[in-house]
Chain A
């Protein structure tokens, strides 16, 4: 790879590459032992899961790790190759910034992993009861309100967590997210097993506020603050202390009560934090303690953006907006302010009506790789909202980029609106799902296809999960939709008032669930209540917080309507 092309990519060291290559060889050998009957299915299960391989409804599903959402154009081309060569020509971006393929043949998985290793990629720890891919802000490094670039710490955590010998057989899966933005939280730190916020203390030192015990699933919980300030050098020892307490005392008798949130609740957050503190005091001075040199050595492996000295072109963009309403809408909704003068952050929407949210085909992947090289320093980011970000676009070229994105079907101007739905693969693909989710998303997008109306409604997060595992984060959607099974029939439970940002909240369930064909209409009624009750400038969430759930309940369960 040519580092000079990239904005800020971590480039593998000889150690990283050796480990990934040895992993491919190890998994090939494990697969052989499984296929020859030396490994039982139950013994093989965690081994394949820790390489991202699930067995799904139709075929195996391979989840590929995208560390903190960062991809190079070369890596995206390899994903296109995998889609085309091994799969049915498309992939799916998950809420944890990974990409998954649903139709790969089991016996070809070792070859896919070898292809991935050739571009510094893998499926390591993308599933199974281990520490999963660390996620972060898709705007990391390019926004003004950032304490420091969080990706350095994501990478430090990634290395520590990769093949951690003590934590490969945890009670349950374990997810860590890192945020560094002071104004926003695009990574949902409060609903992760561990959430890490970069903070500055009273002395002006940068460190971490660490939360634990958040999560969604059957028992949604907002994480509790374990420590307001963990110094940089102590990051890994503190995380290790949390994991060790969880590994030793987390429940293993019932998989639905095995996440760390259940342990934190059972002990009480304070008692849990005391146990962590006691463990941490024993290990913090040990070999896990970081030094400025160790941090700098990892930082050194990141390439640096080579920004040009440019001026902002606000007036020109306004002029173009006046000439083209389509561009104006897109510019307003799908772009975001860059910290560097003359640049702009661009969101590529994967929410075109008729395409499953987060799906992208090989032709689009190849085109995105080319666009990234041409317009954004060769770098691509995946987002928790299941979209793609080109983070470093020159303002003078953004109109041109928009035209190309339109042709590719990647310029749907609905980012952060009701139509920017987060949605799991659901019953169409997933073996765990109780109900379909993709057709629900599509029906809602069709109901709300008037852009002016959508824009008038403002930012609304609508999330859909096909089952209680909550991969679609329905609990923290402003409107959340959950597929449930009632005597073999697919029904949908709807909640309102959830939020995933700085003020995360779990949504409140309206009441009895609805049939599939009722859902768009029910969402319409919820929106109608908001439009009627809102005070000028109030968002959906703010209106809900002011008026409560009753008005919504009354409307959706009203007779004779």
Chain B
């Protein structure tokens, strides 16, 4: 299983991302933890919640408008994709979800996620990080301690 960082610890990732082109969600085991595209969640969230017993995750693009996500409080995991590490839209989206929509579940950065972005990502409310394969994950844990003091309020 793939390793990710969650709450500043390295853990094995138990979530399965639904490949909508290849898989029917109804054919998957109901005990799996599954991440679905936001469009599927928007159309079928009640059916998904009824089917999967161990919670449903939703994959967001960084341009997703948070007020178009139904039943946010029922979502166990949100991922926000970073198509490029220097595309900063995901930072704003994360803060809005945390501070204005009061989302309290796991918020995971996925995509082009690198060592040197972790400090800022964590301050914007991300608590889980699916790093790019070439990044040294043990070393990356140090990035959360880059600064002991900060100037401005943020999500964390």
Binding site for B on A (CB under 8 A): 15, 18-19, 22-23, 26, 30, 33, 38-39, 43, 46-47, 129, 159-160, 162-171, 236, 244, 247-248, 252, 282-283, 286-288
Contact = CB atoms under 8 A, between A and B. Distances in A.
Which of A19, A244, A248 is packed against the most chain B CB atoms within 10 Å?
Answer: A248
Interface of B: 85-89, 91-93, 95, 99-100, 114-117, 119-121, 123-124, 136, 146-154
Nearest to A14: B149
Given A160-B152, A288-B152, A288-B153, A166 B86 contact: no
A111 B90 CA distance: 34
Given A19-B150, A168-B88, A287-B153, 11 more contacts: A18-B147, A19-B149, A19-B151, A23-B147, A26-B146, A165-B124, A166-B88, A166-B120, A169-B91, A247-B92, A282-B100
30 contacts: A15-B151, A18-B148, A22-B146, A23-B147, A26-B146, A47-B116, A159-B152, A163-B147, A163-B150, A163-B151, A164-B151, A164-B152, A165-B121, A165-B123, A166-B120, A166-B154, A167-B88, A169-B88, A169-B91, A170-B88, A236-B152, A244-B92, A247-B88, A247-B89, A248-B92, A248-B93, A282-B100, A286-B99, A286-B153, A288-B153
Contacts of B154: 165-166
A165 B119 contact: yes
B124 A166 contact: yes
6 smallest CB-CB distances across A and B, nearest first, come from A169-B88, A165-B123, A287-B153, A165-B120, A159-B151, A166-B91
A30 B116 contact: yes
B88 to A, nearest CB: 3
Contacts of B100: 282-283
B124 A129 contact: no
A164 B99 CA distance: 16
A550 B151 CA distance: 53
A39 B114 CA distance: 10
Nearest to B147: A22
Contacts of A38: 136
Main secondary structure of the interface of B (DSSP, over half): loop
A159 B95 CA distance: 19
B149 A18 contact: yes
Contact of B92 (A19, A46, A47, A166): A166
A129 B146 contact: no
B54 to A, nearest CB: 32
A461 to B, nearest CB: 35
Contacts of B86: 46, 129, 169
A159 B115 CA distance: 24
A277 B24 CA distance: 43
Contact of A247 (B91, B114, B117): B91
Contacts of A167: 88, 91
A559 to B, nearest CB: 52
Which of A164, A169, A286 is packed against the most chain B CB atoms within 10 Å?
Answer: A169
A15 B149 contact: yes
A38 B147 CA distance: 22
A22 B148 contact: yes
Nearest to A170: B88
A244 B99 CA distance: 13
Contacts of A171: 88
A244 B155 CA distance: 14
Contact of B120 (A19, A168, A286): A168
Which of B86, B95, B119, B154 is packed against the most chain A CB atoms within 10 Å?
Answer: B86
Which of B95, B117, B151 is packed against the most chain A CB atoms within 10 Å?
Answer: B151
Contacts of B124: 165-166
B155 to A, nearest CB: 8
Contacts of B153: 286-288
Contacts of B89: 247-248, 252
B111 to A, nearest CB: 13
Contacts of A159: 151-152
Contacts of B147: 18-19, 22-23, 26, 163
Contacts of A169: 85-88, 91, 117
Contacts of B92: 166, 244, 247-248
Contacts of B136: 38
A287 B152 CA distance: 9
Contact of B116 (A18, A22, A43, A244): A43
A26 B119 CA distance: 11
A46 B117 CA distance: 11
A168 B147 CA distance: 15
Nearest to A250: B89
Nearest to A159: B151
Contacts of B88: 129, 166-171, 247
A160 B119 contact: no
A276 to B, nearest CB: 13
B93 to A, nearest CB: 7
Which of A23, A160, A252 is packed against the most chain B CB atoms within 10 Å?
Answer: A252
A295 to B, nearest CB: 15
B95 A166 contact: yes
A287 B150 CA distance: 14
Nearest to B156: A165
A518 B89 CA distance: 48
A273 B30 CA distance: 48
A163 B120 CA distance: 8
Nearest to A46: B86
